[in-house]
Structure 1
């Protein structure tokens, strides 16, 4: 007969076994907890922070947490955080558009009424300190396999020279065969142009022959009234506009473009607004001529702003139409025709040309508009610049004009393959635009292949970089929790304290007036390493305090009395106290950043003379080095410790 253990013995054995099993299962967690506790202790030590800096999460009341798609520093010292619909179809459908104004000096927040969906628009600083915001979202994408009604562009013609034609959203266009399409947006078609055809005689005389009318045209996206493939068309036809009578019916019609069941991309808007930093509200200005989604807005030397690229009102990348905004008139005018992928990084160089390092944020074919080069706006010529390695991995790269701007060097950092590619690169490269034949030369590698890297120019002429991911939108838990500082003088990186919040797609970083760096956003595709759960937008904000500020222990230069306005070429004097002996002075243009693209930030070296507790600085005369607008004036002492910025308006 087999022996059976007593109930007490079985209980004892099971109990001790459970303890052993639980101990085995919890060992990794216990070790991880201990490691995290030690790491938290280590990074909080003064010696560590004096060497690597530190990070601190911002306390944000729940009602002010938002999906930071865009971030811009205003001359009031506050940061405008623009979400629009925040990459949320639900918010878009509900018309819930969000903007939050953050004051980092006192950590207060304010909701700003947002008139249109600025999600994935463009922005640039204006001469008077307002921020131009233009473009955004008219419609969210519909993916392949989810399109139930054929859609495409309808060109609406108006041959009436007497008045414009306004058609409300939902207007029906019907083909000769009876197929009906409904417009998804309001559209206004200007009145037709009118002139004269003339007959010329041998004696030089002439007489009018007949009145000539040139039809005006606008395009609107339409969708088939009936679902299914029967409404697909690739043939040209003239479409009757239902609901029109009399002259309106006689003089107006539609011409369909390609109408298909294929994926329908995001569509842009033409709206443009100036954000008034003092009144803290959006002010409507004339809309752009072209609808734009994912455009770049870049300031020019005369204070005007150039709008480039983007997806248009039917979701197609613009063929090369650009336009220029003049704040003095509040109007847009036609710019030079030049194709770029969406969100191209374009930097104003000395003399007025724009340099394109190849960095962009994506839409567009892999073999078009990707090459780096110098664009002469006046002649509309483009001179390619070679030497870039991993030239096919410039999408979602970071780029900037290295400080100071007088050196005319541009750096590109990291990047990835086109679209949803898994490719990423650790490559950095630098081009010296002062060379007779500029060419990229390799810089130091990043710690690993990185897309969506954030790069910020610092007051001491270094570049702080952080975050990013090694795969598309952080797939496979690929966020890069690392930070480093690039030193232009030595050409190398040094390590910085690691952030605790991952940042990939839809993330931003910018320099604050107190010398710290604020980071925002991140829009991961998935929430787990196995890519089985959809990600959620990262609404936490984190601020980096550089090591030099920890070493300063509160003893830093202070800029005192002095002018708040200065002209180019002018020498002005400021009182300076505290810190060590002042060595450098910089004018730093505030950022306007989105999608790894920040073409606004630049650092201008000022000629500096010291006299006791005063300094005199001279602003360069060249407006292509110092475009008109508001700047942060920083001084830095012999130990590299910067002052808190003084805001200065350069006219």
Structure 2
């Protein structure tokens, strides 16, 4: 066959399917490349209600170098949480699933949000799952999860009376009765069963209504650090807010900003954002950064201190007329400056975004996308923005071969980007998966063809650059398996590895020796028997990707000095906004565009 010929592969590359053992196949919802070279593939409950109900949560650790893999104990349902790498190489994973959605017509017990208050300033109280709330008319509701109430806040001024401000938390409750018996649209106060005396007066619930309406997914506040050395999850402080579909964006000082998500009642957060400090392993709510975004917003640290770029890419929940406009978010003043020019602005949901070329260029592309929700609309648009401009605006790039939702966009060591997979319709409906891949070239703003993948990838799929220069794709969660949308589709559990043509043009250059650590503004001395033919050097931050959202990956160009002894001096940019602390893959790329196998470098 033509695609198996050396001539074809040298021009377009090749794909190889990897079948994992049956007992090690997981639903790849999240994937991250650890600084050990292994892939952390997180399923949690894997978008499977039965697994959720059974408490079966899964994580696979896969070594693409050896093909070996094993399951990792998973402490909570991390399905649809967020993740970001920390300066020490650990992966912070926060949020996930408290409860699955129940669609219209399938809700059997009236339910709603209950605000529980504590007016007692001297003690807090923990309550178990199943805590009962009783209305004055006798209606009874139970909390679907455990919850805690801190003490009320007591203020003693120099003059005037002492004031007590009740603490509060919001929990989801559902009726003990089925059907309409539990429905109420009357705001009411609820007593907590089992409390007597002063406790019964100080602790109580308030709810506006209880309905049989559709119930959305609900988030959790749990957060963990995955240690790539011990290969286990380590519990750290809970977030201030429960989150499902949040984005975690690393900041230049090593902290992590958590944004958006559905809360513990299935409502999208109105703008309550918070920051994780890896030194204290705790979260701090940041009311000074109150800003609304749809779920999984693509937020990138720019080269300007204190400024994030929101590309407009997102993965769903939220109204069509709020938070969809791309722009620059100034964290110092909490101001947002929209940027104009994006084509098909109503089709940014399920689009992909990535830096185009080295991050020093501050150019980004937005790729594909579709209409809000289950819209059949999609776009082939690639638009480019140069954030170095005084008044940046999007300009047109080349169009993809097909309209594409859920594209995977991967930065490569030769500065091109691989764009692969996706589907033309929502979640691959009508057998609309795109079995096509292309290369985007930032220097010419053009596309060229790559070999076509053989496995469809749509919703819940990922693609990552590997240390040897290959790309691995995984996941895929179409709604239906047939064109008429009648037959349910299984989750795609096969992996597929792409070998770009740059690995088929001769041997890879070799890094004989390189330092394990470097600093922004510093330099590294690297030895290679191929030093004379090295044309460029790149530090590439490993990916942590889900739902077509990967705010981790970035390629950093290193200035090259050729030393008298034949070694190479590689200079890092001095701005931590360009090279945030953490682990990076160091690639040397020769004059033919062929990259070395990467060496891991810890930027401290």
TM class by shorter chain equals over 0.9
Q: Quote how far apart the aligned CAs of 1:588 are.
A: 0.5
Q: Quote how far apart the aligned CAs of 1:163 are.
A: 1.5
1:642 aligns with 2:595: yes
Distance 2:332 2:547 in 1: 28
Distance 2:207 2:81 in 1: 27
Distance 1:115 1:604 in 2: 35
Distance 1:322 1:284 in 2: 21
Corresponding residue of 1:304: 255
Counterparts in 2 of 1:458-497, with a 5 A limit? Answer: 458-497=412-451
Contact 1:580 1:639 in 2 (8 A): no
1:289 aligns with 2:240: yes
Q: What are the superposed Cα offsets for residues 242-293 of structure 1, whole Å, 9 maximum, x if unpaired?
A: 0123432231000113321110000000000000000000000000000000
2:14 to 17, 32, 54: 54
Q: What are the superposed Cα offsets for residues 457-503 of structure 1, whole Å, 9 maximum, x if unpaired?
A: 00000000100000000000000000000011111111000000000
1:350 to 297, 303, 327: 303
Corresponding residue of 2:212: 261
2:383 to 429, 447, 465: 429
Corresponding residue of 1:548: 502
Contact 1:630 1:649 in 2 (8 A): yes
1:515 to 465, 469, 485: 469
Distance 2:105 2:92 in 1: 37
1:339 to 289, 292, 308: 292
1:91 aligns with 2:54: no
1:106 aligns with 2:66: yes
Corresponding residue of 2:330: 376
C-alpha distance 474-432 of structure 1, shift in aligned 2 (>3 A):
same
Corresponding residue of 1:22: none
What TM-score results when the alignment is normalised by the length of structure 1?
0.91
Distance 2:531 2:378 in 1: 42
| Helix, strand or coil at the partner of 1:558 | coil
Counterparts in 2 of 1:128-277, with a 5 A limit? Answer: 128-199=88-159, 209-277=160-228
Counterparts in 2 of 1:596-611, with a 5 A limit? Answer: 596-611=548-563
Shift >4 Å, 4+ stretches? none
Corresponding residue of 1:525: 479
Corresponding residue of 1:12: none
Contact 1:556 1:580 in 2 (8 A): no
1:589 aligns with 2:541: yes
Contact 1:239 1:253 in 2 (8 A): yes
Corresponding residue of 2:35: 75
Q: Quote how far apart the aligned CAs of 1:579 are.
A: 8.1
Distance 2:566 2:77 in 1: 50
Distance 1:636 1:306 in 2: 34
Q: What are the superposed Cα offsets for residues 46-98 of structure 1, whole Å, 9 maximum, x if unpaired?
A: 11110000000113111110000000000000000000000000000000000
Q: Quote how far apart the aligned CAs of 1:214 are.
A: 1.2
Distance 2:55 2:412 in 1: 38
Q: What are the superposed Cα offsets for residues 432-463 of structure 1, whole Å, 9 maximum, x if unpaired?
A: 11111100001000001100000000000000
| Helix, strand or coil at the partner of 2:242 | coil
What TM-score results when the alignment is normalised by the length of structure 2?
0.98
Distance 1:583 1:259 in 2: 65
| Helix, strand or coil at the partner of 1:166 | strand
Unaligned runs of 5+ in 2: none
**Bigger radius of gyration:** 1
1:563 to 492, 507, 515: 515
Contact 1:580 1:638 in 2 (8 A): no
Q: What are the superposed Cα offsets for residues 88-140 of structure 1, whole Å, 9 maximum, x if unpaired?
A: 00000000000000011111001100000000000000000000000000000
Contact 1:417 1:424 in 2 (8 A): yes
C-alpha distance 86-580 of structure 1, shift in aligned 2 (>3 A):
farther
Unaligned runs of 5+ in 1: 1-40, 200-208
Most deviating of 188-197 and 77-86: 188-197
Q: Quote how far apart the aligned CAs of 1:229 are.
A: 2.2
Distance 1:366 1:259 in 2: 26
Most deviating of 488-497 and 156-165: 156-165
Aligned residue pairs: how many?
A: 600
Q: Quote how far apart the aligned CAs of 1:198 are.
A: 4.5
| Helix, strand or coil at the partner of 1:533 | coil
Contact 1:347 1:401 in 2 (8 A): no
Q: Quote how far apart the aligned CAs of 1:197 are.
A: 4.3
Distance 1:570 1:149 in 2: 62
